[in-house]
Chain A
Amino acid sequence: MPDQNDPLLMSFARAAISRRSALTGLAGVAAAGLLAACGSPGRNASSSTSASAAPKAAEDLSDTDKVVNWSNWPEYIDIDDAGKHPSIEAFVKQTGIKVNYNEDYNDNDEFFAKVRPLLEAGQDTGRDTWVSTDWMVARLVRLGYVQPLDYANIPNLANLEPSLKDVPFDQGRVYSLPWQSGFVGVAYNPKATGGRKVTSVDQLLHDTALKGKVTMLTEMRDTVGMVLIEQGVSLAEVTADQFAAALAVIQEAKDAGQIKGFTGNEYTKPLASGDTAACLAWTGDVVQLRADNPQLGYALGEQGIPMFSDNFVIPNLAQHKKNAEKLINYYYDPKVMAAVADYVNYIPPVAGVKPILVKEDPEVANNELIFPSEAILAKAQVFRALSAEEETSFNRQFQAVVTG
């Protein structure tokens, strides 16, 4: 038997070498100018600054094909012990529209990389709606990849939280409606900080007791936003110089060995175990972490709080646009959103949810991180929309710090 394995394994090694010869050959081909011939000529975008490119609508199959394809982030909806989503089941029963619910939106950038080639080529993405973070909505609108929502199908829009009605990246909410919102704050594990409280970014970046045990977020606007606010800059009016100045503070802390890493959602486990002493964290995560580790501390900024929303959008050529709008409308019913908020612990964007939960689940209803007070909401700030050039430049500078 092993003798049969043997030549197979040897062939791996040979393959590694013949790959080299293949590449050598390829270099010759390249020299012949094949590159230019085969290279993609580039998309001569209709517009680089606004969505003047008319979004392309597909023939709407909603009435005949009772289906809606929805991509969402993992664990971002109510779920019961059987692994089903009660709110979706109720929608199916109520409307007869089947929901293909996919938790395949793990990361804004990765998801964008997945759908961009299709949208750029003017093809259907196979999805009728998905949930993108504010800045990604800004980019999708800028590139003309999403369609205006038909408010006639969304009468429950009247329940939208007033503070979310007008956002800088989508004036008048033409293209997007929020699914959930959250704050960015500082979280710490008293076990690892020696009992001391960590309440500000300044402390996070400069308290030597935390050296090498601090993480920040790979979400540029959240991480740099926290520092910007501490420097007294309004996120709605950030300039390139202010951005660079805030980034320099982070770079300095990183070079000093204060910052251990930049993470996505994976900061939660080390924080709970104490391997991370303090970090930037999202409110929904903190509520869930605290359920298991009540000793974890959390602080929202005194001067201002970066706020983000993840928003429904409908991509170009979605085949069931009306069904998607009906789905959005359904979740803008406070009773439905209450069931979701009770589970996901982020901030629901629908007015009238709190009174329902006061009766059903007072613990959630009284949690300031899920239902923030007026005073806290007044401090919430949203990062302004960036132009294409700014976005590239900011991203490049930020990644130079993250991977430098």
Chain B
Amino acid sequence: MRIGVFVCQCGTNIAATVATRRVVEAALSMRDVFHGESIQYTCSDPGQRAIIDAIQQKNLTRVVLAACSPRMHETTFRRAIAQAGMNPFMLEMVNIREQCSWIHSDIDTATEKAIDLVRKGVARVRRQTPLHAGSVPVTRRALVIGGGVAGIQAALDIADAGVPVTLVEKSPTLGGNMARLDKTFPTLDCSSCILTPRMVEVKQHENIDLMVSSEIENVRGYIGNFEVDIRRKATCVIEEKCTGCMICEQKCPSRAPDDFNAGVGESKAISVAFPQAVPLVAALRKEYCRLFLKGRCSVCKKVCPAGAIDYEQEDRFVTERFGAIVAATGFEQFDWKKAYPSFGGGLYPDVITSLEYERMLSASGPTGGHIRRPSDGAEPKHIVFISCVGSRDESVGRPACCGVGCMYQAKQAILTKEHIPDSQSYVFYLDVRAGGKGYEEFVRRATREFGTIYVRGRVGKVYPRNGKLICMGTDTLAGHQVEVEADLVVLAAGLNAAGAAAGLARKLNISYDMYGFFSEGHPKLKPVETNTGGVFLAGACQGPKDIPASVAQAGAAAAKVVSLLSRAELETSPMVAEVNQMKCTGCFKCREVCPYGAIEEQELRGGRRVAHVIGSLCQGCGLCNVACPPAVIPLKGYTDNQLIAEVVEVLREPEPASSAGASAKAVEVAE
């Protein structure tokens, strides 16, 4: 066994804190190390060349690379050593940058730690065996979850590339939150005017299979080969027959909250979400329907001219295979009521959220585009917008910025003035964050052309007095208390991921943060990927985003999907679990814990039943490895003995430095 140790200086990233030459010297005294070298930039072309030369000249059989995180460059170096004729998996990356040089300042300590880490890597690579990657076929079909603007864009882009797409939306119509908006900043173009053509396009696209009123029930499989169970929820309306005439909605005697209108106004138990809904079909909500609650009604069935009502309908399940999944489940507004008793906690009807206000502004909304106070229907003259309610507020445990509040408040202030010319809007703000193209100018317009008064400071309390709402706050620029008498208070409530996001994340096996937003693979370099291969993110499900950003991310996700599905086969990782069937006791604890269903039962000659890993399903997570009592289901490349050897090396007392070993072998430092 001949091991080569290469220590990267990474310019000064590593060399400034770790004496790489000393690390090389120490490495040369380690067992089986025949070559040591410190290289300025290992990942550079000459750096890789040096590795290849050393492997070939010194007949190295294993390589330890002390450099950055394997997530950065492991593939690079695997390729390099494969070029030199070695098995690409006979490589061990030792992270002396992120986990050593960057986090330490003392050279001696950092160098000592780097040597320990290298020793660990050498111990581990000594027990490495050659591994060989396999391949699996790819299902050329994509799943997009969520029919908001991001999901629509992703589905269209993928479908336009000729890849079949299934778009699953949980509500009865496409559109998502964007369909609820009246106008969009900073151009004030009508939201539904720009969105509905795209919704129609989805419906008509030959490559898109649209499933509304549907949810993801279960996800199995892995990149290239997901198997997804989709629940088609019973709406009691036969989608193919319904013409969207809305007679049922007009005649329905059962009142129900209006989900589409953010709870402003009322709807019926059977209804069409909004006039431009796609598909334009009604849906019945059993929980509000008189027939299902009291057993007598069926008015809608009598009046439906298309015979589209079917009360017997039940949830159906379809199972489809996909090669890639795009999650585009969007956001919902934070429920401010519990966190802000100082704003009445929902007690005052005239304290509303910005999304509720948006529905009031919309011509297709419940008030027909007229701004009305919910309490008495009067037209408000003084409107107070409070920003950062449940965002940038650590007192309620929500430090994040909602990202869009400043902009839509400026928009709503402008629209308010257009609707009610003699009105006065006030915006209480912390900072105005208007970073996008044309955004700052837009906010200026709100103040200069539309006379919106911006007050810098938080509102501490809102309380009613003589039919008005008194907003008590601080003007931190003037340094005094202010009180504004408002007819209507609009809260820019912070954003959360849509309610079902966490459950979906578990099904997709991706992670999410405290607001439920899905975690991207890398904040800079993998903004649309996740840590689960083949699962991509689009839009506000990943974090607060405005429309342009959502659309851009959806396009990026679509490009990733198309590139993935353009391949006929995918290489699989050889770092999977493998059962030593001679020693397997057949207790199948591995099967219990395997999240990928990768473990099956096999009968050996003589009838002994043992476990077997289906290599193409195994993701190498190592759970079975831990659960196996006799530890006979090692994860290739991460065997117990490799890990034990690492731990033993790290815990070993440092031996007195012997220069004999080092001087016997030549130290080459490329500088």
A interacts with B: no
Interface residue ranges, B against A (CB under 8 Å) = none
